[in-house]
Amino acid sequence: MSWIEEGLAVPGKVWKVLHFYRDVFSVLGFFGPERVFPPAKKDHSYGIVIAARNEERVIGSLLESIALQDYDPALLHVFVVADNCTDGTADICRAHGATVYERHEPEKARKGWALEFLFDHIRRDFGIESLDAYLFFDADNLLSRSFVTEINRAFDACGTVAVGYRNTKNFDTNFISAAYGLHFYESTMTMHRPRSLLRQSTHVAGCGYAVSSHILADGWRWTCLTEDAQFYMDQISRGRHIEFCEAAEFFDEQPHSVGVMVRQRLRWAKGRLVCFLLLFPRLIAGAFRHPRESFSCFDMFMYVFPISLCRALGAILKLALSVAAGVAAAGVAGYALNTLPGAILGFLGSFGLTWLRRALWGAVIALRERRHIRCSRPKLPLYILLWPFFNTTGPLIALASVFMRVRWKPIRHDRDVTIGELEAADRQIR
């Protein structure tokens, strides 16, 4: 069995070699400065796009934060698709001056399809290219007052896609919402920031990004479970640059229950796996067709590669081989009495060390991103200590997603806070 185990170790060693550049990214992301973009040569016009389903509790605060932008309001047009709503979402949006389209297709309840519907109507009624670009948000988002001004600088520099800094408005709720927050801070420190400093493309994650109207001239065509992953993989494979703008800060509400967390991450795992299988050949081809974005194509291939699933399958295979070898050598009773207790202790020890390493890494992330974290000081160490729960469940969720029928389901948002309240709480904590 030893030669089999040695063979199983080879892919892991290859992955470490290919993945080494991410260690360099992490160092650069911790010590590197925020990239500052020069003032924009033009104040671009933006369509602000919001897909909402029964979001009457929170969408008003988002629309208020849009109205408070330090940007010419004449250059902003808010479009909302009220997707299979049964509450007052559409009326609230109209009261705030938004253009609202109501969609009633419960059999096609998915954000990607809702956006497809919305852009079909924008094309018909306004013309997609009547605006320079479109900003994508979810109903639970809030925008810092300078968000559009800052994202406009990055968009003006790249002309394709620009992504803002994702922060969490309910980090302080419990260890689950805090785990999500640390997850997105980790993405900033280890991916977005170093990519931007090295002038490489980054990825988008659901909301908080601007897209050129030229890219959307034919409408929204990315409709899988994770439409954001499908979109950025497609764009990078075409040689289009995706820029990160750290100064453009926005906030969203993270899940704070185990059930919702598992459901959302099952969708993420399933959707990204499907996107990877569909689009990884195009990323490989894009590395040769578009020399300026060749490294970004490789980077995105590594980012979307289903490593959590591979780790889960590898662990199961290794366990099965170990049990088979033990039973063959000592029999079932001998294995259960002599080998199994030691194997369990070894697993618990390894698990504990992994947990400790992840917690220490969480502390490093929190230290680097501390000015963005809105959390009472007594809670933060506890949340960091519990953060590895988010990561250690990843392989199990990835494995489960393969065998489960995963559907898009809306996440209920109940954290209604205005941008002014968030700023006031920030000043109090500081």
Q: Which residue has the tokens 């703008």?
A: 245
Phi and psi for 99 in degrees, rounded to 5?
-85, 120
332 class by beta-carbon count within 10 Å (0-12 exposed, 13-18 middle, 19+ buried) = exposed
| DSSP state string for 248-265 | EEEEEPPP-SHHHHHHHH
Rounded to whole angstroms, the Cα distance separating 84 from 114 reads 9
Amino acid at 106: P
Cα–Cα nearest to 40, from 341, 187, 247? 247
CA 284 from centre of chain: 22
User: Vertex 121, ends 120 and 127: CA angle to 5°?
Assistant: 85
pLDDT (tens place) for every residue of the chain, 430 residues total: 455 556 556 677 888 888 899 999 999 999 999 999 999 999 999 999 999 999 999 999 999 999 999 999 999 999 999 999 999 999 999 999 999 999 999 888 899 999 999 999 999 999 999 999 999 999 999 999 999 999 999 999 999 999 999 999 999 999 999 999 999 999 999 999 999 999 999 999 989 999 999 999 999 999 999 999 999 999 999 999 999 999 999 999 999 999 999 999 999 999 999 999 999 999 999 999 999 999 999 999 999 999 999 988 888 888 777 777 776 666 766 666 677 677 788 778 888 999 999 999 999 999 999 999 988 888 999 999 999 999 899 999 999 999 988 887 777 777 778 888 887 766 665 5
Give the span between the Cα atoms of 142 and 242, in whole angstroms.
Answer: 22
Question: With 0-12 CB in 10 A as exposed, 13-18 as middle and 19+ as buried, what is 273?
Answer: buried
Given 3.10.310.30, 3.40.50.300, 3.90.550.10, 3.30.10.20, which CATH number is that of 1-411+421-430? 3.90.550.10
* Rg (the chain; Cα; Å): 23
Contact 175, 257 (CB under 8 A): no
Contacts of 412 (CB under 8 A, 6+ apart): 54, 260
Please give the Cα distance from 89 to 39 (Å, whole number).
Answer: 36
* Distance in angstroms (rounded) separating the CA atoms of residues 231 and 223: 9
d(CA 99, CA 84): 16
Residue 313, amino acid: L
- State the Cα–Cα distance between residues 378 and 390, nearest whole angstrom: 20
Of 286, 292, 304, the closest CA to residue 200 belongs to: 292
* Region of 290 on the Ramachandran plot (φ > 0 left; ψ -120 to 50 alpha; else beta): beta
> Largest Cα–Cα distance in the chain?
79
Question: What is the structure's pLDDT at 333?
Answer: 67
Give pLDDT, residue 6.
60
- Separation between Cα atoms, residue 414 and residue 139, nearest integer Å: 11
The structural domains of the chain, with segments of one domain joined by +, span: 1-411+421-430
Nearest alpha-carbon partner for 317 in 17, 9, 18: 9
Q: What is the pLDDT of residue 12?
A: 74
Per-residue model confidence (pLDDT) at position 1: 47
The rounded distance, in Å, linking the Cα atoms of 33 and 368 is: 11
Residue 360 near residue 186, CB atoms below 8 Å:
no
Q: State how far the Cα of 358 lies from the Cα of 366, in Å rounded to an integer.
A: 12
- Is residue 143 within a helix (H) or strand (E), and if so which, with residue range? strand 142-143
Tell me what pLDDT residue 8 has. 55
φ, ψ of residue 303 to 5 degrees: the values are: -70, -40
